[in-house]
Copies of this chain bind each other. A is one copy, B any other.
């Protein structure tokens, strides 16, 4: 499994996929930087007249609904529809799922365009499974990733998407297998947009367009590992964000084989 992640990283840097992002205002800068640091090329266009041109020339698409409004809803739907039509892989980040009927309806519409991957925290994955939730606390999760496992499996079965849950343990779920990543750091929750950065890096790997399950594993692994290693060099969340980008850029076989804790399970546990 480490070997696969290492190979995907090599492929990414060789091919430098172009990643189209329709994402939220809060994280545009740091997720673009995460995509660049890992070795891909970000693009962010959302104008209704050109969003499909953006999808067409890109290798993959990231949709993150964090600061969605009327105009951006339309941008997202156009982009997702275009990705489906052109068979481009795309990842959905259901930020704040369960906050409002509006948000859940946007998500429901986007799910119809069959995201290749869905990544969220436990609260978001659980809300997405049910499209109703009285316990959302904004955009931060109040639940452990383990608690969202059955919701993630249900989502995978219903929509066919690979589902990633971020948390103390990260889960990546396909129809056949579950992979866990035991890297990361609690300090990552004190930096805005690192979950969104995980989604963005997954999107970068999806641009390889070969094996989306392996690509999702690579994206989750590398972001969480970079966060863990960044924490060791950091005095707080400000320096963590900076070091994380540096380490994404420095990431190589040696670091991966030494520190990555990724495990595969072929049946539910």
Contact = CB atoms under 8 A, between A and B. Distances in A.
Contacts of A235: 243, 246, 250
B29 A27 contact: yes
B47 A102 contact: yes
Interface of A: 18, 20, 24-30, 32-33, 36-37, 41-50, 53-54, 57-58, 66-71, 75, 96, 99-103, 136-140, 189-193, 234-239, 241-250
Contacts of A71: 69-71
Contact of A57 (B37, B45, B136): B136
A139 B43 contact: yes
Contacts of A136: 57
Nearest to A39: B190
Contact of A237 (B18, B33, B58): B33
A47 B30 contact: no
A64 to B, nearest CB: 12
The 6 A-B residue pairs whose C-beta atoms are closest, nearest first, are: A236-B246, A238-B245, A50-B100, A43-B138, A49-B102, A236-B249
A192 B237 contact: no
A45 to B, nearest CB: 7
B137 A41 contact: yes
8 contacts: A25-B28, A33-B237, A45-B100, A236-B248, A236-B249, A238-B242, A239-B243, A239-B246
A249 B235 CA distance: 9
A45 B99 contact: yes
Contact of A67 (B45, B70, B96, B248): B45
Given A18-B138, A36-B190, A67 B46 contact: yes
Contacts of A192: 29, 32-33, 36, 42
B58 A44 contact: no
Given A26-B32, A136-B57, A238-B33, A69 B47 contact: yes
